[in-house]
Structures are given as structure tokens and as C-alpha cells.
Structure 1
Amino acid sequence: MRQELRDNIVAVCDQKTDNKGADVGLSFYAFFKNKNDSPEALMEVARWWIEIHQLDHFEKAVKIKNMAQSGV
């Protein structure tokens, strides 16, 4: 996954945990606006989330942040 997307994931996870605490869960849709103006990026993150890592629909933001930062 592109570094730009990883950086966005980390920023969103930080914002969510700052606002709602370390136990907050999110889906890959959390990284995009309601208007799908970047279908390629959405599919790239969906592939990373669903196909590569086989994550559940909702995962802890802390877990996702760590995964994005580690480059897995």
C-alpha cells in the first residue's frame, strides 16, 4: 500500500483514539469521505484490509495504526 495511504491511516487512527479512546474500532471506510472521489485508493485500502490481512469489518484503531506503521 502506498505510503500516502499509510500516513492517512495513521492520522485517522490518531484522531479517532484521541476523541474516543484506545478501544475505538473502525472500518476501512473511516479513511475516506462519504463521497467516493478516489475509487482507486478505496480499492487499494480494501484489498489491504480484506484480501491481504483478512481483517474483520471493524478493528481496533490502535491495531490498524500499528499495522500501517510497520508496513505490513
Structure 2
Amino acid sequence: MRQALRAKIVEVCSKKIAVKGEDVGVSFYAFFANKNDDPELLMEAATWWIKTHKLDHFVKARKILAMIEGGL
């Protein structure tokens, strides 16, 4: 996964945790605007989320943050 996407995931998860608490859940759609302006990046995130790690639609932001920070 490209570094820009990793940085965006860390930023979004960190903000959501700060605002809504440790138990907040996220979907990979949380890292994108409501318009599909970068389909390749969206598919990269979807592939990492769904195909590579077989995650459910909503996952705790803390878990995603740990996975990204752990290099997964």
C-alpha cells in the first residue's frame, strides 16, 4: 500500500478515536471523499481491507491503526 494512503488512514483513525473514543468503528470508505475521484486508490484500500486481510465492513479504528503502524 502506498505511503500516502497509509498516512491518510493513520490521520483519519486517529481523529475518529480522539473525537468518538477507543471503540469507534471505521470502514475503508472513511478514508475517501464522497466522490470517486481516485478509483485506483479506492481499489487499493478495498483490496487491502477485503482481499488481503478479510476484514468486516466496520472494524475498530484502533485495530486498523495498529495494523498500519505494525506494517501490515
Query: What TM-score do you get using the length of structure 2 for normalisation?
Result: 0.97
Q: Please state how far the C-alpha of 1:3 moved relative to its aligned partner.
A: 1.1
Q: Partner residue of 1:41?
A: 41
- Structure 2 letter corresponding to 1:20: K
Query: What TM-score do you get using the length of structure 1 for normalisation?
Result: 0.97
Which consecutive unaligned segments of at least 5 residues does structure 1 have?
none
- Structure 1 stretches of 4+ with a deviation exceeding 4 A read none
- Structure 2 letter corresponding to 1:2: R
Q: Partner residue of 2:13?
A: 13
Secondary structure, in 3 states, of the residue corresponding to 1:9? helix
Q: What percent of counterpart residues are identical?
A: 62
Q: Please state how far the C-alpha of 1:47 moved relative to its aligned partner.
A: 0.1
Q: Partner residue of 1:3?
A: 3
CA RMSD of aligned residues (A): 0.5
State the aligned residue count: 72
Which consecutive unaligned segments of at least 5 residues does structure 2 have?
none
Secondary structure, in 3 states, of the residue corresponding to 2:41? helix
Q: Partner residue of 2:70?
A: 70
